[in-house]
């Protein structure tokens, strides 16, 4: 077996690794907004005000990120999170700056998460997930 075919054979496992790492990073964005962990939101290190759009987004990131981390209800959760990130990009990054370029308007993470979660909404969670475990059990 060639190195290329061996590496390619690991794609199902690497799909799960991508989901897990992306979910951990995504959850940190939410915990910053909701719990000021590991640091609070700029500029003053606080948290999002209760009931604001950013507060709701933070909860989507914490809860949705946790579901993505364990790979439970992956397809619908990923679709919702993709939508959240599309709104975040167009409303808060493009909308606030008027500049389309993500590297200029600070929207790189929002744009990238939008398409990563959109991919998972189609691809599913991968082998290492509760979704896969539940399918094997059924």
**Residues 17-75: tens digit of each pLDDT:** 999 999 999 999 999 999 999 999 999 999 999 999 999 999 999 999 999 999 999 99
| Whole-number Å distance between alpha carbons of 71 and 101 | 32
Where does the pLDDT of residue 1 fall: very low under 50, low under 70, confident under 90, or very high at 90 and above?
confident
Query: Is position 6 within any domain?
Result: no
User: Which residue range forms the structural domain that includes residue 127?
Assistant: 16-137
As beta bridge partners, residue 41 has 46
**Residue-level pLDDT at 65:** 98
Query: Is position 2 within any domain?
Result: no
Query: Is position 41 within any domain?
Result: yes
Question: What per-residue string of b and e applies to 20-37 under the rule 16 or more CB within 10 Å gives b?
Answer: bebbeebbbbbbbbbeee
- For residue 11, pLDDT over 90 is answered with yes
**Residue-level pLDDT at 96:** 87
Cα-based angle 91, 116, 90 (whole degrees, multiple of 5): 10
pTM: 0.93
Query: Is position 4 within any domain?
Result: no
Rg (CA), the chain: 17
* Number of domains into which the chain is organized: 1
């Amino acid at each position: 077996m060639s190195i290329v075919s061996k590496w390619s054979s690991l794609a199902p496992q690497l799909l799960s690794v991508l989901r897990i790492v992306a979910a951990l990073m995504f959850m940190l964005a939410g915990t910053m907004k909701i719990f000021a962990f590991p640091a609070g939101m700029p500029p003053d290190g606080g948290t999002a005000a209760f009931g604001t759009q950013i507060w709701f987004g933070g909860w989507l990131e914490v809860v949705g990120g946790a579901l993505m981390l364990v790979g439970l209800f992956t397809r619908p959760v990923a679709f919702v999170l993709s939508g959240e990130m599309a709104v975040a990009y167009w409303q808060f990054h493009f909308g606030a700056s008027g500049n389309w370029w993500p590297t200029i308007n600070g929207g790189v993470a929002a744009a990238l998460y939008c398409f990563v979660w959109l991919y998972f909404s189609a691809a599913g969670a991968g082998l290492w997930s509760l979704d896969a475990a539940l399918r094997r059990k059924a």
